[in-house]
Structure 1
Amino acid sequence: MQHVNIGILAHVDAGKTSLTERLLHQAGVIDRIGRVDSGDTQTDSMEMERRRGITIRSAVVSFELDDVHVNLIDTPGHPDFIAEVERALRVLDGVVLVVSAVEGVQAQTRVLMRAVARLRIPVLVFVNKIDRGGARYESLLADLTDRLSLTCVAMSEVDGLGTVEARSAPRQLTPSPGLAEVLAEHSDTFLTAYLEDEDALTAKDYRAELVRQARRGLVSPVFFGSARTGDGVAEVTAGIREFLGGAGKAIPDGELRANVFKIERGNAGEKIAYVRVFSGELCARENVRFHRPGPGGLLEFDGKVTAVRVFDRGVDTVESSAGAGRIAKVSGLKEIRIGDRIGAADGRTESAHFPPPSLETVVRPVDPSDTPALFAGLRELAELDPLITVAQDDETRRITVRLYGEVQKEVIRETLAGQRGLAVEFTGTQTVCVERPTGVGESVWEIGDGRNPFFATLGLRVGPGAPGSGLTFGLDVELGSLPLAFHKAIGETVETALLRGLHGWEVVDCAVTVTRTGYFSPISAAGDFRRVTPLALGEALRRAGTAVLEPVSRFEIELPADAVSATLSRLVEFGGLVTESSIRGTRAELGGTLPTGEVHRFDQQLPGLSHGEGLLSTEVTGYQPVQGPPPDRLPAPAAL
C-alpha cells in the first residue's frame, strides 16, 4: 500500500480542524463528527485547545483511501505556534490549504504559503464556508493567484453561493484553450502535443497532465465546499488520493533515514518521538544512531528502540515496524530531540524557514522556593518546542524564555500549573536584539603579567565579520604552537562567551582571531585557557565596541482605502517605513518594514484604524541599528 503524509494549513478559524473531522468521517474512521466549539474533535486533545477552540500542538490522524494510506497532520493556525507548523512541513508530501470563501487569503495564509513555496510542496486548496454570506468564487480564485502565486485550476462549481442552500458540484474538465494554456506553461511536452494537434488531446490526456503537475507542485486544484455541512468534502477526499497520492518520495530498500518532528511525554514521563521514515525501515528492539548539528559539528548518539507504533485508523496506533513513508511513535530513545535525524547522516530533511522567537521574558514562580522546579519544568517544555529557548542567569538566578507571543505565555502558565502545580508570572518582556562589533580591538594576557592568574598566554583580535557570517574563528599563530586540546578549549569558550556581548545580547557577524599563545609544560591545562579566554575576549570586545541591532519585520497590510492616511501616520510613529502602496477600488495594500518590537502594539491598534477590516502579515527579515540608547538585556549579564 502506498503511504502519503499531508498537512492541513490555514489561517486561524478558517475551518481546518472541522475539515479534518469531515475527512475522517468520510473515510469511515469516526461515526460522529466532533465540533471545535464543543471541544470533542479528534486532533485537539489539550484542555486549552478544547477551551479556546484553537490548535496548539500538531496532531496526527490516519485513514485509508482505497490503496492509499494517508497520515494527516493537523497544524496550528495561530501565529504564536508557527514552530509547530515549521516542524510539520519538514515531513510532508503534500498540503491541503483551507481558505475561507468569505475572508479569503488572510495574513497567516500568506506566511504559511511562503514556506510551502520554498519547499515546493504540492498544494490542494479547499475553499470553505461557501454557505456564508459574502462568500466569493471568481474573485477568490484571482486572490489565490495574485496573492499566493498559485497556479489554480477550479475543480468545483457552486450554486447558491453565499446562502444556506449553497451546494458545490464537480466541474467537468474538458479540453479548452484556457486549461491548455495553464498546463502548457509547465510542460514543453504537453505544449508540443497541443500545438501539433490540439484536437487529438482528450479530456483524459488533460486530466493525466493535471495530475502529474499537481503532484509536482506546479498547479493547485481548488475545491469549494463547507466543512460544517460536509458539502464538497467527498470531492476533496477523492482529490487527496488523485492529486497528492503519488507525491511521496519514499525509498523502501534504502538505508534508514528518518526525521523527528514532535516529542510528547508518556504516562510514566518517558519520551515518545514522532518520526517520519523517508527510507529503510525502523523496527523495535533495534539499536539506532541519531544525530543533530552541534557547536563543533555533527553530534551523534546511540540508543535502543523499545517500541514502534504506526498510525492505523484515526488517532489509534498499532505495534509494527515503520517502513518508508510511514509516521510512527517511537519509544526508548532517551536523548532524542525534535529535529534529530535517525539513521544515515545525509537523510532527506529539508528545513522550513521560520525565524526564531523575537520576544524574551522573565519567568518567576509565585513561591521563590519553586525556582529549581520551575527551571526543570521549563527545560522539559523546551524539549517539546525547541524554539522556546530557556536560560537561567548564573548571577541573578532569574529564568528567561524566548517565545512568539502572548498565547504561548498562557500555554506555559497552564501547563506548569496542571502538570507540576507551579504558579508562575511573566515580567520584563523584551524584543530579542543582537550586537555586532563596530571596530577592531585587541587584547593580550601574558602569563605572570600581574593580572593573569592562569598558566596561559592568549592574545585575541576582535572585529566585524561579513553580514550573516555569524562567528568566524581564525588563527594568526601556528597551529602547532599549542596542543590541539588547548586550541579546542579557546574556540569553544569564544563561542559560549559571545552569547553575551557588552549589552547582554548575542554577538553576531564577529571575526575572532588568535594572535598570540603561550603555556608552561607540564603545568598548563586546557582549563587555564578556558578561564583566560573570556577575559581577553571581553577586553578586546570593549576596545572594538558593539552596536545593538533590533529585528525588523517585513509587513503587508490590506485595509479599506479610506483608512490609509490614519494607518500611515501610525506606522511612522512606530518607526515603520512604507515602501509599497496600491489601491484597488475600496481596498488598499501597504508594504514596508517595521521594528519587530512594535508589531504587536501596532497590530492591537490596526482594528481601530481600519474599522475592524485591516489584515496584517509580518515576517522577520533582518536587523537594523537601534535608534536611541541601546537596550540592555534583562536579566543583567555577567560582565565580560
Structure 2
Amino acid sequence: MRTLNLGILAHVDAGKTSLTERLLYAAGAIDEIGSVDDGNTQTDSLALERQRGITIRSAVVSFAIGDLTVNLIDTPGHPDFIAEVERVLNVLDGAVLVVSAVEGVQAQTRVLMRTLRRLGIPTLLFVNKIDRAGAGHAHVLRGIAERLASSAVAMGSAAGLGTPGARFTSFTAADSAFTTRLADVLSAQDDAFLATCLDDHEALSYRRLRGELAAQTRRALVHPVFFGSATTGAGADALTAGIRELLPAAGGDPGGPVSGTVFKVERGPAGEKIAYVRMYSGTVRTRDRLRLPDDDEAKVTAISVFDRGPHARHDAVAAGQIARVWGLGGIRIGDPVGAERTTDPQRHHFAPPTLETVVVPRRPGDRAALHTALTQLAEQDPLIGLRQDDIRREVSVSLYGEVQKEVIQATLANDFAVDVTFRETTTVCIERPAGTGEAVEFKEHKATNPFLATIGLRVEPAPPGAGATFRLGVELGSMPYAFFKATEESVRETLRQGLHGWQIPDCTVTLTHCGYCPRQSHAHAVFDKSMSSTGGDFRGLAPLVLTDALREAGTRVHEPLHRFRLEAPADTLAAVLSALARHRAVPLTTEARGTAYALEGEIPAVRIHGLEQQLPGLTRGEGVLECAFERYAPVADGTVPSRPRTDHNPLDRKEYLLHVVRRVRG
C-alpha cells in the first residue's frame, strides 16, 4: 500500500478547505460536503474556526485513491497563521497550491510558492472558483507564469467561466498545441530530454511525454495547472487523477531505524499531550521507549494512525505514515522522534513574527493562570514567542497580525477562562553587529570582577539567516565542560536583547579566554563555594563581557520591510504616490492595466497600518493593497527604536551586579 502525505495551501479565501471537502467526498470518505460558512467541515474542528470561517490550526484527514492512501493536511490560508504552514512543510511528499480564478495570484500565494520551490516540494496548482463572476482563464495562467512559476503547464481548458455550469476538460494526445507546449516546457527543464526532442521530435509518443511530465513534477521542476470549482465539483476528478499520477508516494524503510518528526501538538480531554508524528523510517509500536531530544526517553502509551478515513487506534505506525501518539510528555513541535534526520532544514522557511504586544489580564489575580495558558499555547505554536518580563511582571507575545491577536484573546477566554486585553501592537526589529568587538574579564581582578571566572569573547557579524554561532577559541580541556556550557547558554540568552533591546539573530561569538578556580575548601572542611568556581559564575559574568564586546563592535537596528502590491485607479496615482512617500514606501515597478495602475515596492512594516487606513479615501474605495514580509533593512529615518529590557540590564554594570552578585553569592 502506497502513502502520499499531501498539503493543501492557499491565500486566504481561495477555497482551500472547500477543496479538501470536495476531494474527501469524491473519494467516498464523507457522505456529504461540509460548508465553511455553515461551520461543518471536516478539518475546521475548533469552535473558533467554525465561528470565524477560517482555518487556524492544521488538520489531517485521510482518503484513498485506488491503491494510494492520501493523508491530506489542510493548512491555514491567513498570513497571521503562517506558523502552522511552517511546521507542515517538512512532512509533505507533495502539495496542491490553490489559486482563485477571480483574484488570481495574491501576495500569500507568491510567498507559499517561493517556499515550496525552494524546498523542492512537488506541487500541483488548482485554479478554483471558475464558476464565480469575474473568473478568468488566460490572465490567471499568465499571472501564474509571471509571478509563480514559468514552468507551469495547463492540463486542460475551462469553459463557461463565471456561470454555475463552468467546466474543465482535460487535454489529450489529440490536442497538438498542448503536446507542443508540454514538450517545450519539459525540454527546457532537462537537457537529456531536450537532446531527445532535438534528435526526433516527431517520434515522441504522448505516453513518453506523460511519463516525463510525472518524473519532472516529482522533481519539482514542472508544475501542472488544473482548473475547477470546489463548490460544483468541476475539475475535481482531473485533479484527483493528477494527484495519483504526478505526485510521489512516501518512501522509507519500515524495518529501518526509527526516525520521525513532530509537526503538531495538541491537548486531549484530560490535558494529556498528543503528538502528531510523520514517520520517515522504522516502525513505532505501543509500549516502545523512544529517544527524545536532550537524551530523554518516553514510553508510547497509544497510537492512532491516519489510514483511509478517520484516524483509528493501531498497535504500530510505520515509515511514510502519520499518527497521533500518546505518552511523549516532554515533546515539542519540531522535535525528532528517534534518529534525527540530517536532511531536515534547521532554519525557518518563513519570516519570524514582526509584531509584538503585551498581554494584560483583566483581573490581576489571573496573572499565574495567564502565564500557564500562554505556555500551553506556545507548545502548540512555538512562534508565539513568549517574552517574560519579571521586572515589570508582564508577558509579551509575538504576532503575525491583528487577527492572530483576536484569536489568542478568544482562545484564552474560551479554553482557559482568562479574559485579557492587549497593549498597542508594536513592530519587532532586530540588531546586527556593525563590526567586530572583543572584551575580557579576569578572575584575578576582584575589584572589578566579583565572579570566580575568566571569560573573553569576540563578536563578529554573520550573514542574514546564518543564526547565532558560539565557537571555542580555547582548548576544550582547559576547564570543565559544564562551564563552557554555562557560558554558551548565557551568551545565547544575552543575544536576545542587544544594545537597543532587540534580538541579535545573526552573529558569531568566540570564546577567546577562560579560567576557573578548581574545587577546594579550607583544611578539614567541606566544599567552599567562595573559593571554587560554579556554573553561576560563568552565567553571571558572560552578559557583562558580551555587552562590552557588543559596545566595541557597535550594533545597528534593522526594521522589517514588506513587499507590497497596490492596485488603484489611474486618476488617483498622484495622490497614491504622495501617500507612499509619506509612509517611506519605495515603489519599484509601475504597470498600467487599463484604467488602473499596479505598483510594487517595499514599505516599512510599521507604516503599513497607516497606509491601509488612508487608502480607501485616496482611491474612492477601489484601491487594493497586498503585503508580505520581504527582508530586514537598517532603520533609515534617523530615529533608532529601542525596546525596554526584561533582564537585569548588563548595560548598567552597577545595577546588574547589585541584583546578580547578591543572587550568585547569596
TM-score (norm 1): 0.92
Which residue of the other structure, out of 350, 356, 374, is the alignment partner of 1:354?
350
Which residue of the partner structure matches residue 337 of structure 2? 342
Which residue of the other structure, out of 197, 202, 207, is the alignment partner of 1:199?
202
Per-residue CA shift, 1:327-363, capped at 9, x if unaligned?
A: 1111111111111111222354346610111111111
Q: Relative to structure 2, which stretch is displaced further, 2-11 or 208-217?
A: 208-217
Which residue of the partner structure matches residue 270 of structure 1? 272
Contact kept, 8 Å, 2:260 with 2:340, in 1: the verdict is: no
Q: Relative to structure 2, which stretch is displaced further, 174-183 or 408-417?
A: 174-183
How far is the alpha carbon of 1:278 from its aligned partner? 1.5
Q: Relative to structure 2, which stretch is displaced further, 305-314 or 107-116?
A: 305-314
Which residue of the partner structure matches residue 585 of structure 2? 576
CA distance in 2, matches of 1:202, 1:583: 43
Q: Relative to structure 2, which stretch is displaced further, 281-290 or 180-189?
A: 180-189
Residue aligned with 1:208, SS? helix
CA distance in 2, matches of 1:76, 1:514: 43
Residue aligned with 2:422, SS? strand
Residue aligned with 1:506, SS? coil
How far is the alpha carbon of 1:151 from its aligned partner? 2.0
CA distance in 1, matches of 2:567, 2:419: 40
Which residue of the partner structure matches residue 311 of structure 1? 306
CA distance in 2, matches of 1:228, 1:360: 38
Contact kept, 8 Å, 2:99 with 2:128, in 1: the verdict is: yes
Contact kept, 8 Å, 1:462 with 1:544, in 2: the verdict is: no
Residue aligned with 2:393, SS? coil
How far is the alpha carbon of 1:545 from its aligned partner? 4.5
How far is the alpha carbon of 1:283 from its aligned partner? 1.8
For the aligned residue pairs, the C-alpha RMSD in angstroms reads 2.6
Which residue of the partner structure matches residue 386 of structure 2? 390
Residue aligned with 1:387, SS? helix
Confirm or deny that 1:49 pairs with 2:49.
yes
Residue aligned with 2:383, SS? coil
Q: Relative to structure 2, which stretch is displaced further, 62-71 or 507-516?
A: 507-516
Confirm or deny that 1:403 pairs with 2:399.
yes
1:600-615 equivalences under 5 Å are 600-610=609-619, 611-615=621-625
Q: Relative to structure 2, which stretch is displaced further, 308-317 or 127-136?
A: 308-317
Which residue of the partner structure matches residue 490 of structure 1? 487
Contact kept, 8 Å, 2:69 with 2:308, in 1: the verdict is: no
Which residue of the partner structure matches residue 600 of structure 2? 591
Which residue of the partner structure matches residue 142 of structure 1? 142
How far is the alpha carbon of 1:459 from its aligned partner? 5.2
1:58-77 equivalences under 5 Å are 58-77=58-77
Residue aligned with 2:139, SS? helix
Stretches of structure 1 lacking an aligned partner (at least 5 in a row)? 292-298
Which residue of the partner structure matches residue 500 of structure 2? 503
How far is the alpha carbon of 1:241 from its aligned partner? 1.3
Which residue of the partner structure matches residue 633 of structure 1? 643
Which residue of the partner structure matches residue 217 of structure 2? 214
Which residue of the partner structure matches residue 415 of structure 1? 411
Identical residues among aligned pairs (%):
52
Confirm or deny that 1:184 pairs with 2:181.
no
CA distance in 2, matches of 1:608, 1:500: 40
Contact kept, 8 Å, 2:12 with 2:78, in 1: the verdict is: yes
Mark the CA change 1:95 to 1:425 in structure 2 (over 3 Å): closer, same or farther. same
Which residue of the other structure, out of 237, 241, 249, is the alignment partner of 1:238?
241
CA distance in 2, matches of 1:331, 1:477: 44
Confirm or deny that 1:372 pairs with 2:368.
yes
Mark the CA change 1:239 to 1:498 in structure 2 (over 3 Å): closer, same or farther. closer
Residue aligned with 2:497, SS? coil
Contact kept, 8 Å, 2:443 with 2:516, in 1: the verdict is: no
Letter in 1 for 2:306: F
Q: Relative to structure 2, which stretch is displaced further, 176-185 or 476-485?
A: 476-485
CA distance in 2, matches of 1:49, 1:147: 31
Contact kept, 8 Å, 1:465 with 1:471, in 2: the verdict is: no
Residue aligned with 2:241, SS? helix
Contact kept, 8 Å, 1:312 with 1:318, in 2: the verdict is: no
Contact kept, 8 Å, 2:62 with 2:310, in 1: the verdict is: yes
Residue aligned with 2:243, SS? helix
Which residue of the partner structure matches residue 432 of structure 1? 428
Which residue of the partner structure matches residue 664 of structure 2? none
Which residue of the partner structure matches residue 296 of structure 1? none
Mark the CA change 1:97 to 1:460 in structure 2 (over 3 Å): closer, same or farther. same
Which residue of the partner structure matches residue 285 of structure 1? 287
CA distance in 1, matches of 2:473, 2:236: 66
Mark the CA change 1:225 to 1:481 in structure 2 (over 3 Å): closer, same or farther. closer
Which residue of the partner structure matches residue 97 of structure 2? 97
Contact kept, 8 Å, 2:452 with 2:516, in 1: the verdict is: yes
1:124-139 equivalences under 5 Å are 124-139=124-139
CA distance in 1, matches of 2:492, 2:13: 43
Confirm or deny that 1:618 pairs with 2:632.
no
Letter in 2 for 1:485: A
Letter in 1 for 2:275: A
Which residue of the partner structure matches residue 543 of structure 2? 534
How far is the alpha carbon of 1:156 from its aligned partner? 2.6
Letter in 2 for 1:118: R
Which residue of the partner structure matches residue 533 of structure 2? 525
Contact kept, 8 Å, 1:462 with 1:510, in 2: the verdict is: no
Q: Relative to structure 2, which stretch is displaced further, 213-222 or 4-13?
A: 213-222
